[in-house]
Amino acid sequence: MTVKRRSFIKTSAAGAAALAAGPYFWPKGASAADTVKGGAIYDLSGDLQLFGKNQWACAEMAIDEINAAGGVLGKKLEVKTYDSQSQMQAYNQYARQMVLRDKVAVVQGGLTSSSREVIRPILHKLKTLYFYNTNYEGGVCDRNFFATGATPGGYVDLLSGEAMKRWGKKVYIMAADYNYGQITAKWIQKAVKDAGGKVVGEEFFPLTVNQFGPTISKIQAAKPDFVMNVFVGPAHASFYGQWASAGMNKRIPMVSTTFGAAGEVVRMPPEIADGIMTCYSYYEDLDIPFNKKWLAEFRKRNGTDYGYLTDVPPKDWYGWIFWAKAVNEAGTTKREKVIEVLEGGLTVDGPGGPLTMDAKTHHCTMDMYIGQAKGGKFEIQKKVAQVPPTNTGNQCDLIARPDTNVMYEPKI
């Protein structure tokens, strides 16, 4: 995921100005004395603030819960949170600053793949743990890196498999023309091929493209059983209206790896959104006791005018809970000891179900759900319990090869 990853609309300039007023934010009542320090960087203003604000809201909720339960090692967890203003250069600056000046024990945050790949090498070199809590194209294999987001073995394999089971095996792929879209399209190709299906068309679109008439004509000619999109950003969102206006939403099913992540299911009219199928590890509509209590607390703190939460923001809650739990079990914030605890199969229960850290990949095993847009929400149609993280060919094994620092891509 790169800049403008999945952003559906820009929020108001007034909101951006308010959040950009200072370079960082402190939890209420924080004190510099007798604390354990963490660092975070979120897109709290700029094009990606629609995501960043919800990410920080979930992270802040976790931090408050940790402190209410006794903190970290009996001390208050104090998190210095920087606003990247959706600018890549800020990630570079603040990643270094958090380690070298603020002396934090862990850094969490980043939304896009480009932001991750700015932060990750810096923190790897400076030996400071990094948690990335976003669904992404998978493949990072780095002992200093931990991911709570879903990978293609979950949201691509399950989604394409369910679609082929329901509608047929001829697939047309539409994707954003940059690393997230290109690599995810490779995973789709692999999943379809492995299941005996056929890709009958594939197109990539720059993030500024908002006219899809020629593409709709190509899809009509190709006659796929379903279309699978990896769209990103507000320009691409215009496709859904054009697709419905052409009557295609009544003729060819649509599935997506990204739809709903920016609240489209509540922002688009049902006659456009209804029927679009997705696969995530979290939906607001999950009928889970933990989720009902968790979501009620989130809304109590943040109101209801935030859009709709799917995977990404709640994973920032998981990320902070994971790290605090690992530190408390390790009895220290020292990186090697915390890594050992995380690699010991640490599990955190949460609003989407339990997540367990996989020792080999430093990614999580998690429950995944098939959801279909209906009437301004997602109807949960299927649960697949405890899906392991993507690790094709067992390429990543950080226990056997702890010095690995690469990003693997699928082989088709």
Helices (H), 101-200: 113-125, 152-155, 157-167, 179-194
Do 13-150+286-353+394-407 and 153-280 share a fold? yes
What's the rounded Cα separation, in Å, for the pair 120 and 126? 10
Between strands 76-83 and 35-42, the pairing is parallel
Q: What are the Cα distances from residue 277, in Å, to 163, 208, 369, 380, 404?
A: 8, 24, 11, 10, 36
Domain chopping of the chain, boundaries: 13-150+286-353+394-407, 153-280
**Residue owning tokens 């226990």:** 399
C-alpha R_g of the chain: 21
CB contact set of 344 (below 8 Å; sequence gap of 6+): 359
- Listing DSSP states for 313-330 in one string gives HHHHHHHHHHHHHHHHHH
Among 77, 82, 79, CA closest to 96: 82
Secondary structure (3-state) at 226: strand
Q: How far is CA 62 from the centre of its chain?
A: 17
**So what's the pLDDT on residue 33?**
57
**So what's the pLDDT on residue 114?**
87
**So what's the pLDDT on residue 101?**
97
What's the rounded Cα separation, in Å, for the pair 369 and 7? 22
Q: How many CB atoms sit inside 10 A of residue 363's CB?
A: 29
Cβ(285)–Cβ(378) below 8 Å = yes
Give φ, ψ of 99 to 5 degrees.
-80, -50
Q: What are the Cα distances from residue 41, in Å, to 72, 96, 132, 184, 374?
A: 20, 12, 11, 25, 34
pLDDT by 10s per residue, the chain, length 412: 433 333 333 333 333 333 333 333 434 444 445 899 999 999 999 888 888 999 999 999 999 999 999 999 999 999 999 999 999 899 999 999 999 999 999 999 999 888 999 999 999 999 999 999 999 999 999 999 999 999 998 899 999 999 999 999 999 999 999 888 999 999 999 999 999 999 999 999 998 899 999 999 999 999 999 999 999 878 899 999 999 999 999 999 999 999 998 889 999 999 999 999 999 999 999 999 999 999 999 999 999 999 999 999 999 999 999 999 999 999 999 999 999 999 999 999 999 999 999 999 999 999 999 999 999 999 999 999 999 999 988 999 999 999 999 999 887 7
**So what's the pLDDT on residue 47?**
82
Secondary structure (3-state) at 169: coil
**So what's the pLDDT on residue 263?**
86
Give φ, ψ of 273 to 5 degrees.
-85, -30
**So what's the pLDDT on residue 1?**
41
Superfamily of structural domain 13-150+286-353+394-407 = Response regulator (3.40.50.2300)
State which H helix or E strand residue 94 sits in. helix 88-100
CA 263, 264, 270, 275: dihedral to nearest 10 degrees? -110
**Residue owning tokens 């080999």:** 360
**pTM assigned to the model:** 0.89
- Listing DSSP states for 275-288 in one string gives T-EEEES--TT---
Instruction: State the amino acid at position 90 in one-letter form.
Output: A
What's the rounded Cα separation, in Å, for the pair 126 and 104? 11
User: Taking the CA of residue 216 as centre, how many other CA atoms within 13 Å lie in the half-sphere pointing to its CB?
Assistant: 17
Q: How many CB atoms sit inside 10 A of residue 312's CB?
A: 27
**Angle subtended at Cα 365 by Cα 321 and Cα 383, rounded to the nearest 5 degrees:** 105
Q: What are the Cα distances from residue 200, in Å, to 68, 107, 173, 209, 244?
A: 54, 43, 8, 22, 21
Superfamily of structural domain 153-280 = Response regulator (3.40.50.2300)
State which H helix or E strand residue 172 sits in. strand 170-176
The number of residues in the chain equals 412
**So what's the pLDDT on residue 31?**
46
What's the rounded Cα separation, in Å, for the pair 372 and 87? 33
Cβ(119)–Cβ(131) below 8 Å = no
